[in-house]
């Protein structure tokens, strides 16, 4: 991932739910980030499931496409970005909490009209671990937001899907979490609320899977420095996801998320606002 500087740099990296770098070709006509999430109908009449969690490590790939629009009057700003990240992830459940460990194996970004850059993230592989607690998601070691790899951590955290061990069709639940992450070089506190609904059983390839619908909203705020500039970031976003988990273990098989986030960035007293529309697909490979 290439580190960008200035207001555009922070904007491209600042997001409550997604982090990417710009794409190689301009794509003002690309609406992939705003298309609705497809949802196949259940193919099984099953209505109750008991999950046997597994701590086995999984290899997952995240592909994110992002469209960026300026919210300010005057000359409009539009750009698009893509980011592909490969990682392995394991989750170990305990009675009321869980621990997780991850290894980021590769991350490749490509950029567009304003930066026209493409590159792989340095300092990989990168490993980290953390805990999932009621109302809190943590990383065991402090994140260095000056290390570009730290901006990848939220991708792995979005893959921390941990449904209840007993599920029923149309069952709903809500959870909320606070977590400290890096938005580019700026440390931010992200607060998210997610509401889940069990749709039913289907198949992901040949694997029996439970389809869970997720709706979320998130806000974040933080401040830091980049060079001689003082930077403040605030975000507010909403999203929706279709999540497929293994019907036996509850492990993540596939997830597609669309998200819209309003980003307000103040650099040395100058404020700009942007709207970022993202579409992310995480799948096992």
172-211, pLDDT tens digit by residue?
Answer: 999 999 999 998 889 999 999 999 999 999 999 899 999 9
C-alpha to C-alpha distance for 17 and 218, rounded to whole angstroms: 8
C-alpha to C-alpha distance for 107 and 44, rounded to whole angstroms: 37
* Domain assignment of residue 248, yes or no: yes
Residue 90 domain boundaries:
6-284
First to last CA, the chain: 22
State phi, psi for 144 to the nearest 5 degrees.
Answer: -95, 105
* Domain assignment of residue 159, yes or no: yes
Q: How many C-alpha atoms does 220 have within 13 Å on its Cβ side? A: 32
Per the structure, how many domains does the chain have? Answer: 1
Angle at CA of residue 66, ends 63 and 71, nearest 5°: 165
* Domain assignment of residue 179, yes or no: yes
**Omega before 125 cis (within 30°)?**
yes
C-alpha to C-alpha distance for 238 and 16, rounded to whole angstroms: 9
Low-confidence stretches of the chain (pLDDT beneath 50) = 1-30, 115-116
Query: What pLDDT does 44 receive?
Result: 84
* Domain assignment of residue 1, yes or no: no
**Strand ranges (E), the chain:** 21-22, 48-50, 58-70, 78-93, 98-110, 118-120, 126-133, 136-139, 166-168, 172-183, 186-204, 207-226, 229-246, 252-267, 270-284
Running DSSP on this structure, what letter comes out for residue 36? P
CA 280 to mean position of chain CA atoms: 7
């Amino acid at each position: 991932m290439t580190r960008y500087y200035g207001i555009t740099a922070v904007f491209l990296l600042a997001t409550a739910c997604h982090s990417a770098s710009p794409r190689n070709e301009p794509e003002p006509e690309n609406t992939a980030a705003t298309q609705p999430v497809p949802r196949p109908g259940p193919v099984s009449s099953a209505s109750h499931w008991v999950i046997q969690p597994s701590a086995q490590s999984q290899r997952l790939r995240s592909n994110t496409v992002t469209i960026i629009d300026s919210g300010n009057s005057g000359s409009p700003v539009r750009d698009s970005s893509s980011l592909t990240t490969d990682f392995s992830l394991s989750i170990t459940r305990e009675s009321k909490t869980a621990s997780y460990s991850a290894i980021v194996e590769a991350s490749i970004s490509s950029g567009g009209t304003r930066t026209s850059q493409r590159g792989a993230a340095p300092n990989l592989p990168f490993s980290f671990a953390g805990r999932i607690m009621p109302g809190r998601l943590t990383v065991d070691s402090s994140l260095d937001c000056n290390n570009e790899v730290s901006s990848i951590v939220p991708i792995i955290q979005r893959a921390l899907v941990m449904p209840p061990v007993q599920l029923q069709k149309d069952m709903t639940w809500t959870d909320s979490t606070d977590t400290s992450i890096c938005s580019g070089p700026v440390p931010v506190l992200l607060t998210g609320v997610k509401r889940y609904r069990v749709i039913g059983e289907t198949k992901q390839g040949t694997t029996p899977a439970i389809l869970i619908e997720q709706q979320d909203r998130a806000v974040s705020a933080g401040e830091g420095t980049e060079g001689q500039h003082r930077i403040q970031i605030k975000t507010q976003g909403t999203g929706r996801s279709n999540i497929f988990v293994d019907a036996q273990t509850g492990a993540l098989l596939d997830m597609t998320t669309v998200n819209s986030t309003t980003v307000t960035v103040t650099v040395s007293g100058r404020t700009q606002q942007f709207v970022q529309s993202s579409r992310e697909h995480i799948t096992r490979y």
